[in-house]
Amino acid sequence: MKRGLLAFETQEGPCWLLIVLMFLELSLARDSSEEAFIYSEKTFRTPTYSIVYSKLLRPSTLYSLVTTFHQSDEGVDVLSLEEREMHTSHTIVASVMSETWEVASGSELISPFQPSTITLPIPISIKNSTYSLTVRGFSPSKSLLFQHIVPLQFTPYFLSVTVQTSRPIYRSGQEVKFRIVILQTDLLPYHDDLDVFVLDPDGIIMRRWISIFTNNGVSSLSFTLPNLAKDGTWKIRTSIQDQLDEHMFQVQTYFTPLFEVFVELPKYTSDTETSVTATVYAMFATQKYVRGKGVLVWSTRKYDATRNNWNTYNGTSSQEYKEILRIEKFITESKNTFTLVFSELPEPVTPGLEVRLDVTVTELLSGETMCGYSTSRVAHSQVHVEFLTRRPLYYHEGKPLQGHVYVSQLCRRSITIPGHSG
């Protein structure tokens, strides 16, 4: 408060009048029981923020983005303590826009330096177009702090579609059985309708199912190939909204062989074993055993992890294998066993050696000849022990130690213990 003295003169003489001039400071009158008022004068600063979002936009999904305010002060705030607590939250408004309309929008109240997630439900009806994400930040007084606009890339693939056929190769007149498994992005089954088409190698639609529904995300269908089906790659195409998926299978002209030759060898053989035993038999399509003359060819090669080790059979042993033994045996109408003794081999058996047995059987009545083969790899006899739980930091003698370990060969082949699982 400030005071001043003012003097003036009248007809009767000078007169002095004391006038009190009071200048109040910039404040508001209040009772002493009220809260203390805060006066703050701040300069404007550029808002600083961060936005984490996805550039891909998929239909029928939940689009999420995370926003954080790092600096967002306004010019002057004259608020009570209670009002200041109410006005510390900023407002974030996010929207996904197309060229002509708003796809989805949402808002969230956030505090400075606290990340907040906004989830926008994207409808399934959106089509291929130009989309953008607009994020606006508002201060507690509803003034615009920032506006961020970025383009989004539309993709129609919002489902996981798997097509499984009963076999990879068919011939004319056979029945093709297949099932379609459809999952959403949240791994829940898809329950809406879909269209299924079967196309031949020329792209001609041979069969179609329109607006069929799944049973808990699975649809099982079948159709019969024409008697003169064109050889080549056929396709099973699924159409859901704008999402197209294709599964290919082969149609070839082949004839069922009179019989087949089966050769069974253990997948792995330990280097401490002295021999390996193979089971050989041949069967007609009627599941009847074949009797005939057999030729057995044993061959070996060194396993190389840097090479393609697929065994492609072309009627004779592969050029990579070295023939070590050839014998002729009569194949009876049952399962025949043959043993290869490692001591008879010209070279020692070491880990990494692959043993292959090719068998050719000639049926006595028809004179038809068929072949078959199998391989076995020699593995190291040492074991590999791996802790499945946390390894003990310290071990005290006499103190019990509890945990789970996995014991296997060095080639990761499990060890079978009688009465226990591998």
Q: Answer yes or no: is 310 within a domain.
A: no
pLDDT at 283 > cutoff 60: yes
Q: Where are the beta strands (DSSP E) in 175-252?
A: 175-184, 193-199, 205-213, 218-224, 232-240, 243-251
- In the three-class reduction of DSSP (H, G, I as helix; E, B as strand; rest coil), residue 71 is classed as strand
Whether residue 284 sits in one domain with residue 200:
no
Q: Which among 392, 275, 397, 287 is positioned nearest to 333, based on CA atoms?
A: 287
390 by Cβ neighbours in 10 Å (0-12 / 13-18 / 19+) ranks as exposed
Rounded to whole angstroms, the Cα distance separating 79 from 38 reads: 6
* Residue 54, CA distances (Å) to 92, 152, 156, 273 in order: 17, 8, 15, 58
* Residue 349, CA distances (Å) to 145, 214, 265, 303, 377 in order: 77, 55, 16, 12, 10
Both tokens assigned to 327: 């014998």
Both tokens assigned to 389: 């739980």
Q: Which among 281, 421, 307, 301 is positioned nearest to 363, based on CA atoms?
A: 281
Rounded to whole angstroms, the Cα distance separating 195 from 223 reads: 15
pLDDT for 13-26, tens place per residue?
Answer: 444 443 333 433 43
pLDDT at site 319: 52
Query: For residue 252, which amino acid is it?
Result: Q
Looking at residue 137, which CATH number applies to its domain? Answer: 2.60.40.2550
Total structural domains in the chain? 3
Whether residue 125 sits in one domain with residue 188:
no
pLDDT at site 398: 72
Q: Answer yes or no: is 375 within a domain.
A: yes
pLDDT at site 23: 38
pLDDT for 405-418, tens place per residue?
Answer: 777 766 666 666 55
**Half-sphere exposure in the Cβ direction for 124 (13 Å, CA):** 10
pLDDT at site 8: 46
Q: Answer yes or no: is 340 within a domain.
A: yes
Rounded to whole angstroms, the Cα distance separating 264 from 221 reads: 35
Whether residue 70 sits in one domain with residue 170:
no
Q: Residue 344: which pLDDT band, with cuts at 50, 70 and 90?
A: confident
Whether residue 191 sits in one domain with residue 68:
no
Q: Are strands 275-284 and 259-264 parallel, antiparallel or unpaired?
A: antiparallel
Q: Which among 101, 103, 60 is positioned nearest to 240, based on CA atoms?
A: 60
Q: Answer yes or no: is 19 within a domain.
A: no
Q: Residue 384: which pLDDT band, with cuts at 50, 70 and 90?
A: confident
- In the three-class reduction of DSSP (H, G, I as helix; E, B as strand; rest coil), residue 365 is classed as coil
pLDDT at site 351: 83
pLDDT at site 142: 83
pLDDT at 217 > cutoff 50: yes
Q: Where are the beta strands (DSSP E) in 258-393?
A: 259-264, 268-270, 275-284, 292-302, 322-331, 336-341, 353-363, 369-379, 383-387
pLDDT at site 100: 83
Whether residue 345 sits in one domain with residue 228:
no
Whether residue 412 sits in one domain with residue 274:
yes
Give residue 276's domain range: 256-305+318-422
pLDDT at 79 > cutoff 50: no
Q: Answer yes or no: is 246 within a domain.
A: yes
pLDDT at 246 > cutoff 50: yes
DSSP string computed for 13-48: EEEEE--------S-----TTSPPP--EE------E
pTM over 0.95: no
Q: Which among 380, 384, 381 is positioned nearest to 406, based on CA atoms?
A: 384
pLDDT at 46 > cutoff 70: no
Whether residue 301 sits in one domain with residue 260:
yes
Whether residue 85 sits in one domain with residue 164:
no
Report, as an integer, the average pLDDT of 350-354: 84
Whether residue 126 sits in one domain with residue 197:
no
Looking at residue 411, which CATH number applies to its domain? Answer: 2.60.40.1940
Which residues is 165 bridged to in the sheet?
Answer: 178
pLDDT for 222-238, tens place per residue?
Answer: 999 999 999 999 999 99
Rounded to whole angstroms, the Cα distance separating 170 from 414 reads: 37
Whether residue 246 sits in one domain with residue 294:
no
pLDDT for 138-194, tens place per residue?
Answer: 888 888 888 899 999 999 999 999 999 999 999 999 999 999 999 998 889 999 999
Whether residue 279 sits in one domain with residue 206:
no
Q: Answer yes or no: is 40 within a domain.
A: no
- Give residues with Cβ within 8 angstroms of 298, minimum separation 6: 323, 324, 325, 326, 340, 355, 356, 357
pLDDT for 116-147, tens place per residue?
Answer: 899 999 998 898 889 999 999 888 888 888 88
Rounded to whole angstroms, the Cα distance separating 16 from 6 reads: 7
pLDDT at site 255: 84
Tell me what percent of the residues of the chain surpass a pLDDT of 70.
76
pLDDT for 289-336, tens place per residue?
Answer: 999 999 999 998 887 766 655 554 444 444 578 888 899 999 999 999
pLDDT at site 411: 62
Whether residue 378 sits in one domain with residue 300:
yes
pLDDT at site 171: 93
Both tokens assigned to 122: 């994207």
pLDDT at site 29: 42
Boundary of a domain, candidates 123, 154, 185: 154
Q: Answer yes or no: is 402 within a domain.
A: yes
Q: Average per-residue pLDDT in the chain?
A: 80
* Lookup result for tokens 């996995």: 406
Q: Answer yes or no: is 17 within a domain.
A: no
Looking at residue 190, which CATH number applies to its domain? Answer: 2.60.40.1930
Helix (H) or strand (E) holding 152: strand 144-154
Which residues is 383 bridged to in the sheet?
Answer: 409
